[in-house]
Amino acid sequence: MRPMDNMEETIKKKLNFTASAKMRDRILDDVLKAQKNSKKTKTALVLPNIRRIIMKSSITKFAAAAAIIMAVLITFYFVGNPLGATVTFADVIEPILNARTVVLDLVVGSEETGLVVHDIVVGSKIRRTLPNMGPAIIDLDSARMLRLDPLDKSAVYIDIQGPFQRWTRSYLGLVRDIVDDMENHPEWPVQELGQRWIDGQRVVGFLLSVPNIKLTIWADAETAAPIRIEMLMGQSQTIIKNIEFDVPVDESLVSMDIPDGYTLHEKELDYTDFDEQDFIVVLQYWAEHVLGGNFPDNVSAEDILKVAPALRQKVDQLNISDEEKMQIGMAMGRGFMFFRHLDPNGIEWHYVGKGVEFGDANTAVFLYRPKGSDTYRVIYGDLSVKDSAPEDLPK
Amino acid sequence: MIEDELLKWKFKRGSKDALRRIYEKYLDYLLTLTMALLNDASSAEDVVHDVFVTFAKSAEEFKLSGSLKSYLATAVCNRARDQIRANKRQLAKLDESDPVSTSSDGPEQLIIYSEESQRLNDAVVQLPQPQREVVVLHLKGEMKFREIAKLQGESINTILGRYRYALNKLRSILDGEVER
């Protein structure tokens, strides 16, 4: 190939000019002076013009995919811990162990206000549907997800390995592993809660307390079939209900193949490499673009799942390229993952942003103590982050 | 990109550090664009200087919804046009395909570049200005054709045509096959 055959690449890579140190300093000096001499910048937030758009762009898919991954993790924890060592409790969890298909609703947050996710489970595959987001098919064996967007008939594969590896085992295999774990931990108590009525059904309850998790399972008092499971992990609450075991399911619903009429997105997404900065992006857009300059009253899995559509809408409305929107969407997705990994890992965190204005450099909005750290990471209203010893934490 | 969003937000609130970071991040990028458009070190410095100084004063008016990179690239392009219009003599030089010095007339070198960069730039500046803008803004400015079409006030087909002609001409020049 002749050197100039690939003219575009040559210009992209080889045509470069660099400022000398003297030029660099000379211009910078004037630039900083110009800033200093200009009028003081106003503190009020300036929001982008909002235009009505149809939500069909890439960012929609990516943000929605991230929200679905959050729900994936929620369920992983559900199946990972409701298992006791007593005979009675074993009766209750027997269908979970042995059922090949399960259909259920998962409420993320409280019963009254939470977001309802619908699951169809077939072996190690799950078809998961969130409201207004279309379905995702999750293959736990291969740790991949296929996200389908019925709106524009597009499909994208998403890697859910990396930090999620320990949760990407077979759905039922994971349950069996946890049973083994429970047997090795006799100190994990299972408390009988007695009988009560739920939706006209007489049920018996069990409370399982393991580190960082309180799990309550309500089962039919006659058949021992679980009908409702409530889990409080850290500060995150989830409820599983409308559970049906071994019901006939069309297995094509959990196929990882691209359905006819759908177009595969070229890029395979990966949300697994997340960090604090990604979560800051979520806070920024949430406060600045969704709430007009104030941080939310509360931050929880429920809140994040609910705000996800608004976040992606605001990003879609920005006057930036699709690639840039995608980058923000990906960062938000990783930010969701960052938040979601806190409770399962027993990381202490506190959201204190209620009433804080976006840009307030003196008031903390979120703080957490990384695993093994003696100090807290404190995120302030201007999105700056500082390390703080426990005795120095903001009041 | 995420960093840019934070930088814009901090810049709007008067952050000196944010402005400094924006400057450091995009100085060479803008300088390369300007050199490719003007091929003159002193003029390039003036253009980049003016763009950054104007930007520094614009915090209140600066729109958060735009891409910072494209915003700065567009500003440089507009300033470069002004510079070309203001300097008929330099324009004549460019149109006559007479490469202009990439260093100042003084003893010190304002801008650092490789021989290959110089050779490429000498070819780029031989393109008619509209074609040159398309090539430079697309390949070095990473702007989309539709953004360039908007900037030049032309249809996207016109822009694509200019791009094709420009690349063909560059190949001819650089292969030493240009017909004079």
- Between A326 and B135, the more confident residue is B135
Q: How far apart are CA A163 and CA A208, in angstroms?
A: 26
Residue A202 exposed, middle or buried by CB count within 10 Å (0-12, 13-18, 19+): exposed
Residues of B in contact with A35 (CB under 8 A): 14, 16, 19, 56-57, 59
Q: Tens of pLDDT along B47-67?
A: 999 999 999 988 776 655 567
Q: Which two tokens stand for residue B78?
A: 């507009």
Q: Which two tokens stand for residue B100?
A: 């202009």
Given this model, what pLDDT does residue B106 score? 45
What would you report as the CA-atom Rg of chain A, rounded to the nearest whole angstrom?
A: 25
> Of A23, A47, A283, A357, which to mutate for an interface test with B (greatest number of B Cβ within 10 Å)?
A23
CB atoms within 10 A of CB A124: 18
CB atoms within 10 A of CB A266: 6
Query: How many Cα atoms within 13 Å fall on the side-chain side of residue A166?
Result: 8
Given this model, what pLDDT does residue B61 score? 67
Binary contact (A31, B19; C-beta < 8 A): yes
Element of type H or E holding B94: helix B88-95
- List the single residue in B57, B112, B144 with the smallest CB-CB distance to A34: B57
Element of type H or E holding A367: strand A364-368
The residue of chain A nearest to residue B17, with distances taken between CA atoms, is: A32
Binary contact (A7, B171; C-beta < 8 A): yes
Of chain A, the end-to-end C-alpha distance in Å amounts to: 67
CB atoms within 10 A of CB A275: 12
Given this model, what pLDDT does residue A237 score? 78
Q: What is the dihedral of CA A272, A275, A277, A281, to 10 degrees?
A: 40
* ∠ CA A372-A376-A381, rounded to 5°: 150
Given this model, what pLDDT does residue A61 score? 47
> What residue type is B119 in one-letter code?
R
Binary contact (A10, B120; C-beta < 8 A): yes
- List the single residue in A4, A16, A32 with the smallest CB-CB distance to B19: A32
Query: How many Cα atoms within 13 Å fall on the side-chain side of residue A57?
Result: 20
Q: How far apart are CA A379 and CA A98, in angstroms?
A: 45
Q: How far apart are CA B62 and CA B68, in angstroms?
A: 10
- List the single residue in B1, B64, B139 with the smallest CB-CB distance to A46: B64
Residue B164 sits at the chain A interface (C-beta within 8 Å): no
C-alpha torsion sign, points A168, A171, A174, A175: positive
User: Buried (b) or exposed (e) across B150-174, using 16+ Cβ within 10 A?
Assistant: ebbeeeeebbeebbebbbebbbebb
List all residues of chain A from 335 to 394 with a beta carbon under 8 Å from chain B: 359, 382-383
Residue B108 sits at the chain A interface (C-beta within 8 Å): yes
Binary contact (A47, B32; C-beta < 8 A): no
C-alpha torsion sign, points B124, B130, B131, B137: positive
Write down the pTM of the prediction: 0.47
Pairing relation of β-strands B111-112 and A125-130? Answer: unpaired
* ∠ CA A340-A341-A343, rounded to 5°: 85
Binary contact (A48, B65; C-beta < 8 A): yes
Given this model, what pLDDT does residue A50 score? 18
Binary contact (B120, A11; C-beta < 8 A): yes
Residue B17 sits at the chain A interface (C-beta within 8 Å): no
Q: Tally C-beta pairs within 8 A across A and B.
A: 161
Binary contact (A31, B53; C-beta < 8 A): yes
Three-class SS state of B19? helix
Mean pLDDT rounded to a whole number for chain B: 81
Query: What is the predicted ipTM?
Result: 0.83
Shortest CA distance to A333 belongs to which of A133, A129, A128, A64? Answer: A64
Block residue for tokens 């209750």:
A92
DSSP state of A145: E
- Between B173 and A185, the more confident residue is B173
Residue A53 sits at the chain B interface (C-beta within 8 Å): no
Q: How far apart are CA A46 and CA A66, in angstroms?
A: 28
Residue B102 sits at the chain A interface (C-beta within 8 Å): yes
> What residue type is A331 in one-letter code?
A
Q: What is the pLDDT along chain A (395 residues), one digit of tens a residue?
A: 444 458 888 898 889 999 999 899 989 999 998 888 875 433 322 222 211 222 233 444 455 555 555 555 544 433 332 222 232 565 666 666 667 788 888 888 788 788 888 888 887 788 888 776 778 888 877 778 888 888 778 888 877 765 554 443 433 444 445 445 555 666 666 677 888 888 888 888 888 777 667 778 888 888 778 888 887 777 777 788 888 888 898 989 999 999 999 888 766 566 667 889 999 999 999 999 899 899 999 998 778 877 887 887 788 788 887 778 778 888 888 888 888 788 777 788 999 999 999 999 999 999 999 988 999 999 999 999 999 988 888 76
- Between B31 and B97, the more confident residue is B31
Q: Tens of pLDDT along B85-133?
A: 776 555 555 555 444 444 444 435 778 888 889 899 999 999 998 999 9
> Of A5, A13, A31, which to mutate for an interface test with B (greatest number of B Cβ within 10 Å)?
A31
Residue B48 sits at the chain A interface (C-beta within 8 Å): yes
